C-alpha cells in the first residue's frame, strides 16, 4: 500500500470523527476590541483582530453575505456619531459603511436581508422607532430608510429573519430608574408590516427580550432580567424555557453554532460567554476579559470542493483526494 493511500485513508477516517469548528467573532462594548477564537478552544485560540479603542461602543455584530463583519457602533454621544462599520478579517481593515446623523439611530442589533442590512435600536440609549434598512450595505450606493411599519417599537436589541422572510424583533422597554427591562417579541411580514406578538411581555418567563436567533423553525430569545434563553416553536408559537446562565444581565446577544449549540454573551460587564448544548445544558463558560459583550457572530468551516477540510486549532488540513501525487497544503 502506498504512503499516499495510507494518508488519504487517515484523512477520511479523521474527517468522519472530527467535527468542523466554528470561528467565533466577538466585539467588546467596553473596550472597543474585536477578537476571534476557535469554538473548540476559546482561550487557546483567542486572537485580537482590532485592538482596544478601535471601535466606539460596538453594540451589534453580524457577518455579511460577503464574509465581512458588520458592526453597529453607538458612538460617544457627543463627537462620534453612531454608525455601521465594516471589518474585513482577511485584511484587518476597518471602514465606515454609513454614519447616522443627529444621533438618531443607536444600533442594538443587525440582520442581513440579501445585501441590505436591517438595524435594530439599542434600549440602553432610550432609542425608539422602527427598524431601519441600510440598502446596498455590502457594496454600491448606500441608502437609509425605515423598514418596519406598525407595531410601535420601544427599542429592538434583537433581530432574526425566518426562512420565509418574516422578521422577529425584541421590543424591549428599559426603565432607567429601576434598571428593569420588559417587553414582547413581535413578528413582521416580509414587507416589514407588523403582524402581531409572538411572546407577550412577562409570559413564558420572558423578562426583557434581547438577543434573537432562529434555527430552522425554532426561535431562541434571550431574557435579560432572568439570565435565561427561551425556545419558541414557530409552527405553533409555543414558548418554553431552554437554558439558563444563572443571573440577571448574563445573557444578551446570541449566536448559533454548527453543532446546534448556542452561544450567549453577557452584557453585565463580566466578559462571560456561555456555551449551551442542543438540550440547553450549560457546557462551559469562557471568561473573555472583554467586559460587556457587544456582539457575537459565528462562521463555520466547510470542506473545500474536491477535498476534505479539517478545522483543528484554527488550521485547516486539506486532503487532496482527487488526484494522486498532488501536494499537501495547509489552508
Give the per-residue pLDDT at 292: 98
Give the per-residue pLDDT at 21: 87
Strand partners, 187: 168, 196
Residue keyed to cell 472530527: 18
> Would you place residue 322 in the very low, low, confident or very high pLDDT band (cuts 50, 70, 90)?
very low
Sheet holding 22-28, edge to edge: 47-50, 34-38, 22-28, 293-300
Give the per-residue pLDDT at 134: 98
Instruction: Kindly tell me if the per-residue pLDDT of 8 is higher than 50.
Output: no
DSSP letters, 66-115, are TS-EEEEE---SSSS--EEEEEETTTTEEEEEEE-GGG---EEEEEEETT
Higher pLDDT, 323 or 15: 15
Instruction: Kindly tell me if the per-residue pLDDT of 316 is higher than 90.
Output: no
Give the per-residue pLDDT at 16: 39
Strand partners, 120: 109
The pTM for the full model equals: 0.86
Give the per-residue pLDDT at 19: 55
pLDDT, tens digit, 9 for 90 and up, residues 31-84: 999 999 999 999 999 999 999 999 999 999 999 999 999 999 999 988 899 999
> Would you place residue 246 in the very low, low, confident or very high pLDDT band (cuts 50, 70, 90)?
confident
Characterize the bridge pairing of strands 132-135 and 185-188.
Answer: unpaired
Task: Measure Cα distances from 3 to 7, 13, 309, 325 in Å.
Answer: 6, 15, 20, 11
Amino acid at each position: 500500500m502506498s504512503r499516499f493511500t495510507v494518508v488519504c485513508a487517515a484523512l477520511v477516517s479523521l474527517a468522519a470523527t472530527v467535527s468542523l469548528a466554528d470561528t467565533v467573532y466577538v466585539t467588546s462594548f467596553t473596550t472597543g476590541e474585536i477578537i476571534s477564537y476557535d469554538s473548540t478552544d476559546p482561550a487557546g485560540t483567542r486572537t485580537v483582530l482590532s485592538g482596544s479603542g478601535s471601535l466606539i461602543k460596538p453594540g451589534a455584530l453580524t457577518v455579511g453575505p460577503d464574509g465581512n463583519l458588520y458592526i453597529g457602533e453607538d458612538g460617544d454621544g457627543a463627537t462620534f456619531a453612531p454608525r455601521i462599520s465594516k471589518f474585513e478579517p482577511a485584511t484587518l481593515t476597518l471602514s465606515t459603511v454609513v454614519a447616522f446623523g443627529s444621533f438618531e439611530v443607536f444600533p442594538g442589533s443587525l440582520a442581513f436581508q440579501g445585501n441590505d442590512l436591517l438595524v435594530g435600536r439599542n434600549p440602553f440609549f432610550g432609542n425608539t422607532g422602527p427598524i431601519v434598512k441600510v440598502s446596498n450595505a455590502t457594496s454600491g450606493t448606500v441608502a437609509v430608510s425605515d423598514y418596519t411599519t406598525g407595531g410601535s417599537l420601544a427599542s429592538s436589541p434583537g433581530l432574526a429573519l425566518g426562512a420565509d422572510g418574516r422578521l422577529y424583533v425584541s421590543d424591549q422597554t428599559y426603565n432607567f430608574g429601576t434598571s428593569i427591562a420588559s417587553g414582547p417579541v413581535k413578528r413582521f411580514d416580509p414587507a416589514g408590516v407588523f403582524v402581531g406578538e409572538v411572546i407577550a411581555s412577562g409570559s413564558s418567563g420572558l423578562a426583557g427580550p434581547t438577543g434573537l436567533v432562529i434555527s430552522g423553525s425554532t426561535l431562541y430569545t434571550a431574557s435579560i432580567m432572568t439570565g435565561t434563553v427561551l425556545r419558541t416553536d414557530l409552527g405553533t408559537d409555543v414558548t418554553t424555557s431552554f437554558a439558563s446562565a444563572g443571573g440577571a444581565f448574563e445573557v444578551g446577544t446570541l449566536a448559533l453554532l454548527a453543532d446546534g449549540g448556542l452561544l450567549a454573551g453577557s452584557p453585565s460587564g463580566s466578559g462571560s460567554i456561555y456555551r449551551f448544548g442542543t438540550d440547553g445544558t450549560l457546557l462551559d463558560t469562557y471568561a473573555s476579559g472583554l467586559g460587556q459583550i457587544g456582539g457575537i457572530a459565528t462562521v463555520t468551516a466547510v470542506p473545500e470542493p474536491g477535498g476534505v477540510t479539517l478545522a483543528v486549532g484554527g488550521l485547516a488540513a486539506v486532503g487532496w483526494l482527487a488526484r494522486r501525487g498532488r501536494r499537501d497544503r495547509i489552508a
